Amino acid sequence: MEYLKYLDKAHKHPIETKVANKEDRIQWQKEVMPYEKSKTAKDWNWTKTGKDTIASAYKLSRLLGQDPEFIVLKKDNIPVAMMLHLKNFKEQTEINAPKHTSFIWYVQKAPREYLEKHNINEKAFDIKISKAILDVSLTSSLKHNGNILLHADSGGKNNLINFYKKEGFTQIDANQGEKISSMRVNDGRYFYMSKEKTVEIVDKNREIIGQSLSKESVQNKQKGYSPTSSSNQMKEFISKTKANKVNKSIQHKSQGISR
Taking only the tens place, the pLDDT of each residue in 211-255 is: 533 443 444 444 443 434 434 444 443 444 445 444 544 444 444
Among 64-78, 85-99, 100-114, 147-161, the minimum mean pLDDT is found in 85-99
Domain that includes residue 68, residue range: 15-211
In a domain, 131, yes or no: yes
The better pLDDT of the pair 7, 253 is held by: 7
Q: What is the domain count for the chain?
A: 1
Q: pLDDT by residue (tens digit) across 176-207?
A: 666 677 677 778 788 888 888 988 988 888 77
The candidate with the shortest Cα–Cα distance to 13, out of 74, 56, 57, 103, is 74
In a domain, 37, yes or no: yes
State yes or no: pLDDT of 103 exceeds 60.
yes
- Give me the mean pLDDT over the 116-133 stretch: 79
What mean pLDDT value characterizes the chain?
A: 75
State yes or no: pLDDT of 26 exceeds 50.
yes
In a domain, 256, yes or no: no
The better pLDDT of the pair 141, 247 is held by: 141
In a domain, 219, yes or no: no
State yes or no: pLDDT of 119 exceeds 90.
no
In a domain, 255, yes or no: no
In a domain, 127, yes or no: yes
State yes or no: pLDDT of 23 exceeds 90.
yes
pLDDT at 132: 84
pLDDT at 13: 67
- Give me the mean pLDDT over the 64-88 stretch: 90
What proportion of the chain, given as a percentage, has pLDDT over 70? 68
In a domain, 110, yes or no: yes
What is the CATH number for 197?
3.40.630.30
In a domain, 56, yes or no: yes
What is the SS3 string spanning the chain?
CCCCCECECCCCCCEEEEECCHHHHHHHHHHHHHHCCCCCCCCCCCCCCCCCCHHHHHHHHHHCCCCEEEEEEEECCEEEEEEEEEEEECCCCCCCCCCCEEEEEEEEECCHHHHHHCCCCHHHECCCHHHHHHHHHHHHHHCCCCCEEEECCHHHHHHHHHHHHHCCCEECCCCCCCEEECCEECCCCEEEECHHHHHHHHHHHHHHCCCCCCHHHHHHHHCCCCCCCCHHHHHHHHHHHHHHHHHHHHHHHHCCCCC
